Amino acid sequence: MTNKYMYFIANWKMYGGLNSLNSLHKVINFLRKFKKNNFIKIVYCPPHTLIRPMSKKLKNSLINVGAQNCHENDNYGPFTGSVNAKMLKNVGAKFVIIGHSENRLRGENNKLINIKIKSALKVGLKVILCIGETSVEKRKKITKQILSKQIKLGLDKIKNKNKIIIAYEPVWSIGTGIIPKPEDLFNTINFIKKKFKNFKVLYGGSVNTKNINELKLIDNIDGFLIGGASQDSKKFIDIIKKTYI
């Protein structure tokens, strides 16, 4: 895995204020000096409130900024509390996470996710589409059906798929400290890549500085979507470093 192009997406969720940007220089400097930096793509997805100040801070660095969600409407409109893809682009986002399970659990379905993806692509944002089965679905052994449905409906009638990255995040793994067995994870990623060709597929769910040693050995993974551990610059750097040792 040492010489492979990998994504490291930091999902800050609803955490962080302006002072959280103070330690970013550690990541910027680390990446500048790191010998294998041309294999690494770091994308920070902070809350909407931090996209602008973060983009300014990361200007001239090798790091991109993304958002964690967007409203499905292309244009401005009477949608109180919402932000659309065009507005995210305007403040410096290059990527947007769509379909995260925390939003699916609040009612976002595949059809809505599909509209959101189209609106994001339209303004030139790259999309990180999150998919993943719940623990009940895993127990029922319907993981493959669930993932296929999420991808098929999520990407319905979308042509330029090269701007889309898939993040496989089993819901039961997010924030729990539990990760899938390596052979299960390899097989699931393999299934996705065989069925839906030419996609980069990331893994997300409790990635940390310890289990990265195990995860990095699964050689069909194209990177990681990291929640909790990405809010601490030292841990985030440690995860990236260990991936390349």
Question: Annotated catalytic sites, by residue?
Answer: 100, 169
Strands 40-45 and 95-98: unpaired
CB of 241 to ligand PGA, least distance (A): 18
Contact 54, 46 (CB under 8 A): yes
As a whole number of angstroms, the distance between CA 125 and CA 213 comes to 32
Q: Which residue is nearest to ligand PGA (CB)?
A: 227
When asked if residue 226 is in the footprint of ligand PGA (CB under 6 A), the reply is yes
Question: Of the candidates 6, 7, 11, 216, which one interacts with ligand PGA according to CB under 6 A?
Answer: 11
CB of 195 to ligand PGA, least distance (A): 22
Q: Which stretch binds ligand PGA (CB under 6 A): 22-30, 112-120, 187-195, 226-234?
A: 226-234
φ, ψ of residue 227 to 5 degrees: the values are -90, -105
As a whole number of angstroms, the distance between CA 168 and CA 175 comes to 14
**Residue 153 β-bridge partners:** none
As a whole number of angstroms, the distance between CA 139 and CA 186 comes to 18
Counts for the chain of helices (H) and strands (E), in that order: 10, 8
When asked if residue 105 is in the footprint of ligand PGA (CB under 6 A), the reply is no
- Cβ-based nearer residue to ligand PGA, 92 or 204: 204
Show the site string, 171-210: x = touches ligand PGA by CB under 6 A, - = not.
---xx----------------------------xxxx---
- Cβ-based nearer residue to ligand PGA, 53 or 228: 228
As a whole number of angstroms, the distance between CA 20 and CA 17 comes to 5
Site residues (CB under 6 A) for ligand PGA? 11, 169, 174-175, 204-207, 225-228
